[in-house]
Amino acid sequence: MDFLSGIVLGFALVLTRVGAFFAVFPLFGWKVIPVRLKIAIILVAAIFFGSQVQCPVRPRDAFGLQSVLMMINEAIYGLGLGLVCALLFQTIQVSARIVEQEMGLSMANVFDPFSGDQAESLSVLSETIFALLFLAVGGHHVLLKLVQQSFVRYPVGSIPNLERLTHGLIETVNTMLLLGLQMAGPIVAVSLLTLVILAVLAKIAPDANVLFLSFPLRIGMGLILVGLFFPFLQHFVKEFMNWLDKLLPL
């Protein structure tokens, strides 16, 4: 009975960390994925990782206060790992929204089939392409490997290093904003150059309706540059994986 209690507690702790990690990851949080499938994936992953770890708690303490505190620690660490991945994944949306603001498409919303809400058209397109590329290059394997490394670095039942988790989250936010600006930088620069040219044109030909010309011109230039930019998303996917290794608190 004591042996069985230890096994149950060990599985519960692994399930808590894995479930907390997947709960905040963007791909796994899409509403288009059935809830039963999400539960099945979490259970399968917990069984797989649970077969490779040992429970450090004595069986007689399996259902005491110590077990509750350990499950809270596992949830905190799993959420911390998931938030780092989620924030990095939001980089593509940050850059897309900056570009949409420059193109004047920030008010053009479409139905997002993944989240079930209204979202900007370019953001939905960018996120979809990035997600497909991420899965195509084996990004889901990298995530599972990172979860496995977390059990090696911080075994089940260990107290998470909150300072390291906080530092990782802060660095991830900084990296997300920096990468978002870098990705949107060339398109923003061309947009600003277009506005300068239009301003000069307004001075040269005051009778020309520059405001009327600026909207289709900015949208057209933006779409052309976005189309040229999409093939380079694969390089960002690889850089995304490198940043995961650097920023995850493992």
* pLDDT tens, residue by residue, 204-236: 877 767 777 777 777 777 778 877 777 777 777
In 3D space, the residue among 198, 201, 227 whose CA is nearest the CA of residue 215 turns out to be 198
Element (H, E) at 35: helix 35-50
Low-confidence winner among 9-13, 38-42, 69-73, 102-106 (lowest mean pLDDT): 102-106
Dist. CA 246–CA 128, nearest whole Å = 25
Task: Name the residue range of residue 190's domain.
Answer: 2-247
For 52, the token pair is 């490779």
C-alpha triplet 12, 17, 20: angle, nearest 5°: 115
For the chain, the domain total comes to 1
Predicted confidence at residue 1, as pLDDT, reads 47
Q: How far apart are CA 84 and CA 246, in angstroms?
A: 11
Give pTM, 2 decimals: 0.78
